[in-house]
Chains A and B, each alone.
Chain A
Amino acid sequence: MPANYVPIFIFIAIIAVALPVTLLAAKLIRPDNPQKTKAMPYECGVDPIGDARARYTVRFYIIAILFVVFDVETIFLFPWAVQYKALGLFGLAEMLVFLAILIVGYVWVWKKGALEWI
């Protein structure tokens, strides 16, 4: 029931007020004299080289999209897990079919070498 979530909304409301207030207070109170060295990004004490916005390789993208896909797969496990007793053996069989199809995909991705970093 939505009523159960009222504390969450109260929480969100408090954060929505508290966050700007603290940031504003900090800005008003703190001393403010920026220098070039101070404003530099900290990289373990070494001077940074180049721009932080470097171009990423496409491998990150493949890993990320595979993560999303398997994430979506996991989502389907939730409603099954909470209903496990009521669904019984039949539900288990259903879920095994579902997972079997995806495991084929997993094996395929693995053997294709899409998960390898070279």
Chain B
Amino acid sequence: MLHLALFLIFGVIAVVGAINLIAQTHPINSALSLVVVMGSLAAEYLLLGAEFLGAIQVIVYAGAIMVLFVFTIMLLNAGAEEQTRGSKVAIIIGIPGMVIGSVAVAWALIRAHTGAEVPVGSLYGSAQGIGHLLFRDFLLPFEITSVLILIAIMGAVVLARRES
């Protein structure tokens, strides 16, 4: 019961944070809202039994990625965004569209005829569990991931390299 209550509370925090992220006009404020979203998502993962993922979420997203976001905002020296006629149109079309979309998704998920329920924490959520899966069943995707990270390194340097 407490579990469900906590899950719902963090879910609401995440959604409110995400809405605030879009509503804020200054990018730094949006970035800080994103920290809230990432943090509450980490709590959600924890509550679902994905302990390792929750920790990673805090370390990588709420930590490293956020630093990168703030750096980029500083790099561009981005000020408050301006409202244009386009953004009015986006609000008029976007908000009803979003409401319809989320109602449809929620309706589909509630009406689901899924089979057996999985008790919380019964899947591989700990670091040991992840290690067990990652280094045995998902050996190939794991090694491919290292090439993926290599490409990320190359991409960063290629796209931001200086004139020489």
* A interface residues (Cβ-Cβ under 8 A, vs B): 1-2, 5-6, 8-9, 12, 53-58, 60-62, 64-69, 71-73, 75-76, 78-80, 82-83, 86-87, 90-91, 94, 97-99, 101-102, 104-106, 108-109, 112, 114
Contact = CB atoms under 8 A, between A and B. Distances in A.
Contact of A94 (B68, B135, B149, B156): B135
Shortest 8 CB-CB contacts between residues of A and residues of B: A79-B131, A83-B131, A101-B146, A55-B77, A105-B150, A105-B153, A65-B156, A79-B130
A86 B132 contact: yes
Interface of B: 2-3, 6, 43, 46-49, 51-52, 56, 59-60, 64-65, 67-68, 71-72, 74-77, 120-121, 127-128, 130-132, 134-135, 139, 142-143, 145-147, 149-150, 152-154, 156-157, 160-162
A56 B72 CA distance: 9
Given A56-B71, A71-B60, A78-B52, A97 B143 contact: yes
B146 A97 contact: yes
B75 A55 contact: yes
Given A67-B64, A102-B150, A2 B49 contact: yes
Given A2-B120, A9-B6, A65 B68 contact: yes
22 contacts: A2-B3, A2-B46, A6-B2, A53-B74, A53-B77, A58-B75, A61-B160, A64-B67, A65-B68, A71-B60, A72-B149, A79-B52, A79-B127, A79-B134, A83-B128, A83-B132, A91-B135, A94-B135, A98-B146, A105-B154, A109-B153, A114-B157
